[in-house]
Amino acid sequence: MSEASPVVIDPPDPPISFPDPPRAELDRRISDLVEAANEVLLTQGRLRVLLRANQAIVSELDLAAVLDRVVDAARDLTGARFGALGLVDDRGALDQIVQSGMTEEEVTAIGGLPVGTGLLGAVMHSRDPVRLDDYRTHPQAGELPPGHPPVHDFLGVPVRVRGVLFGSLYLAGQPRGAFSEEDEQLVRSLASTAGFAIANARLYSDMRHRQQWAAASAEVTAHLLAPGDGNPLTLVADRVLELADADSVFVTMLDDDPERINIVEVRGSDPTGRLGRTVRTRGSASEPVLRTGEPRRLDEAATDALGVSYLKEFGPLLILPLSTGTRVLGTLVVARRRGRRNFSEADAAMALDFAGRAGVALELHAARNDQERMLLFEERSRIARDLHDRVIQQLFATGMQLQSVLGTMPPGRGADRVDAAVSSLDAAIAQIRRVIFTLSTTDHVGPGETARQRLLDLLRELGASLSLEPALSFAGPVDGVVDAALGDELLAVVTEAVTNAVKHAHAASVSVAVSAGADGLTVVVTNDGPPPASDGRRSGLANLEERARRRGGSMVLAADGGRTALTWTVPLPESAT
């Protein structure tokens, strides 16, 4: 065998390479291409986010939802930590602000709505965006409010539609430390879409509110014109409180004295307890509205400038006239808490239309009540005439016949029974006359206008509380001689005497007789209970004696035949003599 020859392996070919300068240029260009591709992908992604944000914004009609989506979309586009959207009212003042990125604790620490006079105001009044690496370099920048998280960079973009300012978008806290020109362009595009979405949402909200106001107006009108009880002003105030998104509604009505107004209804909070109070017209919040019939819109500063005590807890006000077209009946004072947004022109227009309709309905309601009251008065007058002309005459004739029969009867049990029947007829006639007076005066004499009426009202109240209705009779020109001061004394005396008779003497029947004559005014309160013990409690009687003594009169307590009579007599006022 021959010896094998060795295997020879060729060395590998050297790697293909470029000279150093061309290779460096190629690497640089590849890196640029990769970077450009990444930027294109990033830009496409941000554009997709912008398109999705625009779609989400324009598909929403609820204003609150639109504002939230706009702020969230602006933060998503830029990566900003904080975002806010401030809206202006029809007067150009910052009215509402929606924020994203801060906790509730941070928002609470910052406090109320910013006034919009610094950097935020500069953005609102600028036609171009404001982009700053450090907000403190802006000439109108001020200090951040206490509790605000630290920020340095800032991007503000005004939100306008066809030259009309709706508000501004504010962003801060860019992760890269500063906003880029691309951030500005994206947010500017978003702001354009947001402006149209806000305009559409406001139009939709106004339309829906108009429908609600119209439905409430129809409801109030139907309620006022339908028969039934209840205070119609309560329904009016409730609807205004709900539809105006208010915290309180005060209903004021002109008093008989035009220099005074009465707060007749309050719905919502009443921090100073003004319900039922009477205030002077001059200097009140309602004075210009009562004088001109035109509504008033006030912001928080204007409300403070009024200096009205019962409004010091409130901020924005809307004061509406309750009018019939020819005269102003009163006002609706619609209030929001301090720090809340102002009432808009649209709010005022819709509420004014409602108040006008409610004012006319109130007038019609009052006219209908007057008509029903007149019909009732006429019916009561007819009943009173029948009682006077027929029943009393018949009873009086019967009494006369019994008295003539009594004159022919010998003394004895039969004569006594006839005499008792005559006395019962006299008492019945007195009671019927009292009923006639009540029927004749209830509907045309206001409460407390005459001494007779005040006593009737008093005994009706005492009867309800004591479960015993005292009999009441009058003699002489009581109403003509009893002035206001003596009337107050008269009521106090009757109250004390009747109460003592029922509670201390345990009387089962009480009668009150009031007479006026040359000797003065006399009140006799008679009951079927025993007289008070001489060593018993006499504070009530001492009070009656003191009242009589102060007016130069006297008080006498006497018991006779199982009945106790308290006689209180005082001279008449000089003006009555």
Note the pLDDT tens digit of each residue in 60-77. Answer: 777 788 888 888 888 888
Tell me which of 412 and 35 has the higher pLDDT: 412
Tell me which of 489 and 423 has the higher pLDDT: 489
Does residue 567 surpass a pLDDT of 90?
yes
- Mean pLDDT (the chain, rounded): 78
Q: Which residues contact 472 (CB under 8 A, 6 or more apart)?
A: 434, 455, 456, 459, 511, 512, 513, 514
Among 82-86, 132-136, 373-377, the range scoring the smallest mean pLDDT is 373-377
DSSP 390-409: IIIHHHHHHHHHHHHHHHHS
- Cβ contact 472:434 at 8 Å: yes
pLDDT per residue as tens digits for the range 186-206: 888 888 888 888 888 888 888
Distance CA 265, CA 277 (A): 10
pLDDT of res. 254:
86
- Cβ contact 96:114 at 8 Å: no
Tell me which of 301 and 229 has the higher pLDDT: 301
Q: What angle do CA 104, 107, 111 make, to 5 degrees?
A: 135
pTM of the model: 0.53
pLDDT of res. 26:
58
Does residue 447 surpass a pLDDT of 50?
no
Does residue 540 surpass a pLDDT of 80?
no
DSSP 39-97: HHHHHHHHHHHHHHHHHHHHT---HHHHHHHHHHHHHHHH--SEEEEEEE-TTSSEEEE
Distance CA 366, CA 379 (A): 20
Residue with tokens 């006499």: 538
Instruction: Give residue 442's pLDDT band: very low, low, confident or very high (50, 70, 90).
Output: very low
Among 52-56, 125-129, 402-406, the range scoring the smallest mean pLDDT is 52-56
CATH of 231-343, one of 3.40.50.300, 3.30.565.10, 3.30.450.40, 3.40.640.10: 3.30.450.40
Give the three-class secondary structure for 201. helix
CATH of 447-577, one of 3.40.309.10, 1.20.1630.10, 3.30.565.10, 3.30.70.1890: 3.30.565.10
Task: Report the percentage of the chain scoring pLDDT > 90.
Answer: 5
Instruction: Give residue 440's pLDDT band: very low, low, confident or very high (50, 70, 90).
Output: low
By C-alpha distance, which of 541, 543, 512 is closest to 525? 512
pLDDT per residue as tens digits for the range 311-346: 888 989 999 998 876 788 889 999 998 888 888 888
Does residue 140 surpass a pLDDT of 90?
no
pLDDT per residue as tens digits for the range 198-255: 888 888 888 888 888 888 878 877 776 676 655 677 888 888 898 888 999 998 888 8
pLDDT of res. 116:
58
pLDDT of res. 256:
77
b/e sequence 427-436, b meaning 16+ C-beta within 10 Å = eebbebbbeb
Tell me which of 483 and 438 has the higher pLDDT: 483
Residue with tokens 């009292």: 434
Element (H, E) at 337: strand 328-337
- Cβ contact 406:399 at 8 Å: no
Does residue 462 surpass a pLDDT of 60?
yes
Output helix, strand, coil percentages for the chain, rounded to the nearest 5. 50, 20, 30
Phi, psi of 164 (to 5 degrees): -95, 125
- Cβ contact 123:170 at 8 Å: yes
pLDDT of res. 257:
79
Does residue 425 surpass a pLDDT of 50?
yes
Does residue 84 surpass a pLDDT of 50?
yes
29-205 shares its CATH topology with 447-577 = no
Does residue 471 surpass a pLDDT of 60?
yes
Instruction: Give residue 388's pLDDT band: very low, low, confident or very high (50, 70, 90).
Output: low
Element (H, E) at 169: strand 164-172
**Mean pLDDT of the region 160-189:** 84
**Mean pLDDT of the region 85-100:** 79
For the chain, the domains span 29-205, 231-343, 363-444, 447-577
Tell me which of 230 and 85 has the higher pLDDT: 85
Q: At what angle do helices 20-58 and 181-225 cross, to 10 degrees?
A: 10
Do β-strands 471-475 and 510-517 pair in parallel, antiparallel, or remain unpaired? Answer: parallel
Instruction: Give residue 523's pLDDT band: very low, low, confident or very high (50, 70, 90).
Output: very high
Q: How many CA atoms lie within 13 A of 428 on its CB side?
A: 15
pLDDT of res. 568:
93
Distance CA 489, CA 522 (A): 12
The topology under which CATH files domain 29-205 is Beta-Lactamase (3.30.450)
Phi-psi region of 281 (alpha: psi -120 to 50; beta: other; left: phi over 0): alpha
Determine the residue type at 397.
Answer: A
Phi, psi of 522 (to 5 degrees): -125, 135
Among 31-40, 98-107, 368-377, 500-509, the range scoring the smallest mean pLDDT is 31-40
Instruction: Give residue 449's pLDDT band: very low, low, confident or very high (50, 70, 90).
Output: low
